[in-house]
Amino acid sequence: MKLTLHIWRQKNAGDAGGFSDYEMGDVSPDMSFLEMLDVLNERLIEEGAEPVAFDHDCREGICGMCGMVVNGMPHGPRKATTTCQLHMREFQNGDEIWIEPFRAEAFPVIKDLVVDRAAFDRVVQAGGFISVRTGSAPDANAIPVPKESADAAFDAAACIGCGACVAACPNASAMLFTAAKISHLGHVPQGQPERYRRALDMVQHMDSEGFGNCSNHRECEAACPKEISVANIARMNADLLKAAVSEK
């Protein structure tokens, strides 16, 4: 395939940045999207040009490092797929592909397609843990957990913190991410003692990081590669209300 790539290039957070155009020929449909960028970077290095900076790690759809916006969609056009698992067979010969970083005030650009998502880490540090003494690891069936709760906790824990929810939201809200991190602990017995305090602390810190508010567009759910449900946001809001009442 022959493709035209329009890639956002930006030296650092202080640079204005802009799109640069690259012509790609002989792109195999079996290449992953990141492999295609690797081929481009090899060519740029051979030409003495600066390669395109982008995040990646596992390339197996597990870690979430590879987030970028492809043709206006976080992670690209394939539903429930990270960028590293997006393959070039999703595109047609002659296509123009626009590639840019996740855009949010709380995700400042480091370089090109790389953004600083440390704000997510700080939200988790504000309360996404269990600090009460739980003792040593019990037998798997020693603490009975209803299957419905176990399944809900597992579904929420599938969040990989890639930031696609923020990039997709017109308000750059991190509500889906924060709700998933709150829910996966709040559904299990060990998470109950700090459940409401956790919601209050994490939401307050999320707001302090500059993320926007949720206005129920549900673009976050549509863009999430792990299909995290917005039902977690409703549950988080209920916990937040109970926490606010108990604080008075």
When pLDDT is averaged across residues 13-26 and rounded to a whole number, the result is 96
The tens digit of pLDDT for each residue in 124-172 reads 999 999 887 767 777 767 778 899 999 999 999 999 999 999 999 999 9
- Rounded to the nearest 5 percent, the helix, strand and coil shares of the chain are 40, 15, 50
Lowest mean pLDDT among 34-38, 102-106, 144-148, 210-214: 144-148
Above 60 in pLDDT, residue 230? yes
Q: State pTM to two decimals.
A: 0.93
CA 28 to chain centre: 27
**CA–CA dist 148, 102 (Å, integer):** 34
- Four-CA torsion 38, 44, 49, 55, nearest 10 degrees: -10
pLDDT for res 248: 55
Whether the Cβ atoms of residue 204 and residue 126 lie closer than 8 Å to each other: yes
CATH number assigned to the domain covering 117-247: 1.10.1060.10
pLDDT for res 147: 93
Query: Given this chain, do its domains 3-110 and 117-247 carry the same CATH topology?
Result: no
What DSSP line would sit under 24-52, residue for residue?
Answer: E-S--TTSBHHHHHHHHHHHHHHTTPPPP
DSSP designation for 89: G
When pLDDT is averaged across residues 195-201 and rounded to a whole number, the result is 95
**CA–CA dist 104, 116 (Å, integer):** 10
When pLDDT is averaged across residues 20-41 and rounded to a whole number, the result is 97
CATH number assigned to the domain covering 3-110: 3.10.20.30
When pLDDT is averaged across residues 222-244 and rounded to a whole number, the result is 96
Dihedral over Cα of 50, 55, 60, 61: its sign: negative
The tens digit of pLDDT for each residue in 51-88 reads 999 999 999 999 999 999 999 999 999 999 999 999 99
pLDDT for res 190: 87
- Each domain of the chain, given as residue ranges in start order, spans 3-110, 117-247
What DSSP line would sit under 94-112, residue for residue?
Answer: T-EEEEE----TTS-EEET
Above 90 in pLDDT, residue 244? no
Report the greatest alpha carbon distance in the chain: 65
Above 80 in pLDDT, residue 90? yes
- 98 forms bridges with which residues in the sheet? 6
pLDDT for res 8: 98
pLDDT for res 247: 66
Q: What mean pLDDT, rounded, does the chain reach? A: 95
When pLDDT is averaged across residues 97-120 and rounded to a whole number, the result is 97
pLDDT for res 245: 86
